Amino acid sequence: MSGFWADKYRITAFCIIAVVSPATGSDYTCAVWECLSHCQIQPDAAHHAPEVASIVNSACNEIYTGDFEGARRILDKTVVSDSNDIMQLRKITDEYRAIKERREALQDEIYKTQINALQELRQIPLSNDANNIGKVFSLILNISEYADKEQKQSLLKDPLLIQAVREAKAKAAQFEAEGKSLDAYTICYNKLERIYEDNKTYSVYADRLLDKADIWTSFQDSRYEPYEEHYAGITKQTFINAVDVLDSRYVNIIDYRRMAIKGIDRCKLLAEVMSKLGADNAFKMTNAKHAVWLEALDEIVNEINQSQTKTGKDEFVDVFNKVLAINKSPCAQTALPAAALIAQFAKGSLSALDPYTAIYWPNQAQAFKKAMTRQFSGIGIKFSKQEGPAKVVTVFPDTPAYKSGLQAGDIIMAVDGVETKDIASDCLAKRITGPEDTKVTLKIKRFNEETVCDISLNRAKIVVPSVHGWRRTETGEWLYMIDDSRKIGYIRISSFCAKTSDDFESALYRIEEDGLKGLILDLRSNPGGLLSAAVEIADKFIAKGLILRTQPRFGISTYMAAHKEGTRAVCPVVVLINPLTASASEVLAGVLQDPKYKRAVVVGQRSYGKGSVQSMSTDCGKGSQLKYTVAYYHLPSGRRVESRHLMETLGRTDWGIIPDVNVDLHSDQLQEIANVQKINGFLVTNGNEDPFGGVSRYSSRQTVDADPQLAVGLLVLKSKMIQSDAQPTTQRPCTLN
């Protein structure tokens, strides 16, 4: 006898044995369970177990693509209505539907509110008032976020917008004529390129204004970075050395003709900016000299365009030398600052390669190192500065600032006696940081007091933390378990540096000790950093096989493989990404998502699309460093992480990492998420009060409700946890009834 009837009689026999046995109460229950376990059959629709598993798998697969409604249709068709797994998945689809409905209702409400605000704005005379123009542009941008395609097209034809564009262009032209390129960008073109996304004319002009503003800034002396310091250490040979490095190591074949023309174009901008400098500026260029300079540069461009020979490295260097020679020529009489000319030609020519290849001259090299390593010598704070004095946003643990009692919310009125209200952020950062074991004095206005006090601190080595939980405790420890009942952990990585892998290991260990069953890995707004750190973290999730391959132009590929030893994270994983997820963080998300492993479901928005590996060279000399693109990333399945820069050039949109489940966010939601992270992440030092005006830290429920991407990510993760537990079990523990 076999099949169903064999199982039926076997069940009957075991049940008879159980009934005639002297067992009673809980012992009787155990006997029955033991009998059924021999047959590998559970009560409660045991014969439906394979069907339940199949339904769960089908529904979950729909959820992992973001089709929660498709999953619900699958669940509603099944006749196995009493399965706990199916009921839980139905609840998940209900929760997603509720989230979607709330977002749509809020979107509709905000859209109507913004339209009403636009109607009110029509009553105010526009003229050429910069504030009113800015209000129109900002409102149009806000409305566009919540508008559908048809509504957006209608907005672009709005008479008020058309009038604002006309007035803004006139105002921008006035600013530009006065040499105020940044003002022209701010009032007009940075908004226009966002409102008219399909009009490349606006984006090109906006970039040009930013280039001119960048040049203008370099000629403005400040007490922290005078002109001489800004251009210190820049030499002709340094740039030629950099070109030699690129010729042999850059990832692509170099178009030297394009590099030469872009370099010359930047030199034209340099002269234009200098012609608009104030009369009291020592570098002011006369209109006559400006005209002579432009004519000489145009002659070089004509020679390049008419040349029948290929422009190689040597020809490019010849062009560079010609530009420098013309500047020294008596007939030209331009006499542009040599260091500025070299720096601007270099910047323009390297922009022809990609956005990530650049020279860091001696005065910039230290700042770049600080950004890459997340290590520097300072006091251990993060501050914000818009208008007026600087405000402390974060105080890092175990730093001079933390030990001094400095608190998030404190206002930095002055640094070493110099008021901060009129100092640019980068200059202020240079003032606060400095050599280790040196002293700096801050004049502080406490966030909850009217009094002002001086705090003297000894600078020390600072390592900026890159691994965060969802909230700090009152003692400053991060909480990593965001759902205690389901044992769901949450770890956010803000960048990748030397300590990131170890810190991640420690955080993971803590929640594994607490019974971790599912993990949210948040890589949103992570700009990258050390590739090795991202690979080390991927290795914790993958036992064996290829993690990453990098492909240079010359030579063999570099392979990075997983190691079985140290693999610990075996639970289901969901990764959160957004448009600011870039470089090494894209690698980690892509590896875990890759079809070869399917180790995680990725939720959020398409990543930045960097897709390339940069290397540093110190072969340029004079303390300068060259950062250049040396290879492209290839994921385990062989797919390349496409570069946004290259894809946009080709008219394509398939760059970066595309999420499995897309969840778009609006600007107000981004602001709310940032605010929650700020409140939940601040440190209270030395028993001080809440620096945010009595605002309590957010609970896990409030944190999730404020963050649609996290909320949907949790639903996806819960689905993965249900799926992993959905297989029929062979035993069931004895319980008291």
The pLDDT tens digits for 166-216 are 999 999 999 998 889 989 998 899 999 999 988 889 999 999 999 999 888
pLDDT at 449 over 70: yes
- Mean pLDDT, residues 341-347: 95
Nearest partner of 536 among 587, 490, 576, 570, judged by Cα = 587
pLDDT at 684 over 90: no
Q: Under CATH, which architecture does the 375-463 domain have?
A: Roll (2.30)
Task: Spell out the domain ranges in the chain.
Answer: 3-74, 122-218, 255-352, 375-463, 467-724
The H-assigned helical ranges of 39-129 are 49-63, 68-77, 84-121
What is the SS3 assignment for 420?
Answer: coil
From CA 307, how far away is CA 318, in angstroms rounded? 13
| Residues that are catalytic | 583, 594, 610
Percentage of the chain beyond pLDDT 90 is 57
pLDDT at 41 over 60: no
From CA 663, how far away is CA 676, in angstroms rounded? 19
pLDDT at 691 over 70: no
- Mean pLDDT, residues 54-62: 94
Dihedral, CA of residue 453, residue 455, residue 456 and residue 457, to nearest 10: -170
Supply the pLDDT for residue 19.
Answer: 42
The H-assigned helical ranges of 484-530 are 500-513
**pTM metric for this prediction:** 0.85
From CA 441, how far away is CA 650, in angstroms rounded? 53
Give the residue, 44 or 345, on which the prediction is more confident. Answer: 345
Q: Which tens digits make up the pLDDT trace of 118-167?
A: 999 888 887 777 888 889 999 999 999 999 889 999 999 999 999 999 99
Tokens of 117: 């605000």
| Residue 451 DSSP class | -
* Mean pLDDT over the full length of the chain: 85
Supply the pLDDT for residue 26.
Answer: 42
From CA 264, how far away is CA 413, in angstroms rounded? 43
Give the residue, 546 or 462, on which the prediction is more confident. Answer: 546
Supply the pLDDT for residue 430.
Answer: 81
Q: Is 16 exposed, middle or buried (0-12, 13-18, 19+ CB in 10 A)?
A: exposed
The full length of the chain comes to 737
Q: Under CATH, which architecture does the 467-724 domain have?
A: Alpha-Beta Complex (3.90)
- Mean pLDDT, residues 316-336: 84
Supply the pLDDT for residue 336.
Answer: 83
From CA 152, how far away is CA 144, in angstroms rounded? 6
What is the chain's Cα-based Rg?
31
- How many C-beta neighbours within 10 Å does residue 230 have? 20
Q: Out of 75-84, 457-466, 599-608, 639-648, which region has the weakest mean confidence (pLDDT)?
A: 75-84
Supply the pLDDT for residue 222.
Answer: 56
Percentage of the chain beyond pLDDT 70 is 86
Q: Residue 476, by phi and psi: left (phi above 0), alpha (psi -120 to 50) or beta?
A: left
Q: Out of 439-448, 494-503, 536-545, 649-658, which region has the weakest mean confidence (pLDDT)?
A: 439-448
Q: Which tens digits make up the pLDDT trace of 549-583?
A: 998 888 788 999 999 888 876 899 999 999 999 99
Q: Specify whether the CB–CB gap between 666 and 146 falls below 8 A.
A: yes
pLDDT at 33 over 90: no
Q: Which tens digits make up the pLDDT trace of 224-257?
A: 566 677 788 899 999 999 999 999 999 999 999 9
Q: Which tens digits make up the pLDDT trace of 610-633?
A: 989 899 888 788 789 999 999 999
Q: Which tens digits make up the pLDDT trace of 299-308?
A: 999 999 998 8
Q: Out of 109-113, 126-130, 135-139, 589-593, which region has the weakest mean confidence (pLDDT)?
A: 126-130
